């Protein structure tokens, strides 16, 4: 890490979209913190990407405030600054409503929504010092649903609303934006013990006006744009990155 390197913290950064975001920041010369509750995945990712730049793994359950505090204390100890927070950590418990327990509901909201709040709360004093940026990763499930996704959809709808509230509260010193991905194939970006090769049909791709299912790089490139000075007039925005799928009318 050079003296002038910027620093990004990526929650849920060990796998999937988060891992692609970490890789993109490293390739741009940013030092990057991988915050994840999966130690196996976090250590594996930090080893895999170490050749690209300075990457540090800090085991973190973002639903626990003391662990979030520790995350940012350790980040400041390592680097002395924070320029971007990417709130990407997310889980789901998709099951029929009558079988969804309160504990499962609270766990999904705790990680996906409360975790976003807690990380923004504890990162914001440091981001003010650098004129930094927060990017929250929501989902098109905030706007459309399949059956049995109540907890996940509710949590992501909350992330969208929280994002514009934070933008108003933290501006103009900190910009806050949100990305709502659609169908992103993350199998190749999982830890080795869970890595899969996508088997996608022509029909899967053609459900999207863009002509294909999304890949994690579609989101990571958007994150890099949103934290850049070229996006300085964007705050409080939610960008739907779904290949046009939510705009396509479907008739049986």
Query: pLDDT tens-digit profile of 141-161?
Result: 999 999 999 999 999 999 999
CA-wise closest residue to 86 among 28, 25, 157, 140: 25
CA-wise closest residue to 46 among 187, 193, 191, 196: 191
Cis before 172 (ω within 30): yes
Give the active site residues: 152
Confidence of residue 98 (pLDDT cuts 50, 70, 90): very high
3-state SS class at 9? strand
Domains of the chain plus CATH, in order, are: 7-244 (3.40.50.720)
Q: How many CA atoms lie within 13 A of 140 on its CB side?
A: 15
pLDDT at residue number 4: 64
């Amino acid at each position: 890490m050079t003296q002038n390197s910027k620093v990004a913290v990526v929650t849920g950064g060990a796998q999937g979209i988060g891992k692609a975001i970490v890789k993109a920041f490293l390739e741009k010369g940013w030092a990057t913190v991988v915050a994840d509750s999966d130690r196996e995945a976090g250590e594996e990712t930090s080893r895999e990407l170490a050749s690209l730049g300075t990457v540090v793994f800090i085991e973190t359950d973002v639903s626990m405030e003391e662990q979030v505090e520790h995350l940012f204390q350790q980040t400041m100890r390592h680097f002395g600054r924070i320029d971007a927070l990417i709130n990407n950590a997310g889980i789901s418990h998709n099951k029929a409503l009558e079988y969804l327990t309160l504990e499962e509901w609270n766990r999904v909201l705790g990680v996906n929504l409360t975790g976003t709040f807690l990380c923004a709360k504890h990162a914001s004093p440091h981001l003010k010092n650098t004129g930094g940026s927060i990017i929250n990763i929501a989902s098109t499930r905030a706007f459309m649903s399949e059956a049995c996704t109540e907890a996940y959809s509710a949590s992501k709808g909350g992330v969208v609303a929280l994002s514009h509230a934070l933008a108003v509260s933290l501006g103009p010193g900190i910009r806050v934006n949100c990305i709502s991905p659609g169908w992103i194939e993350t199998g190749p970006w999982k830890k080795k013990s869970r890595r899969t090769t996508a088997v996608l049909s022509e029909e899967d791709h053609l459900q999207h006006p863009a002509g294909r299912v999304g890949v994690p790089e579609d989101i990571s490139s958007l994150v890099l744009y949103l934290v850049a000075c070229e996006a300085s007039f964007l705050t409080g925005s939610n960008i739907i990155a779904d290949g046009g799928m939510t705009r396509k009318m479907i008739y049986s």
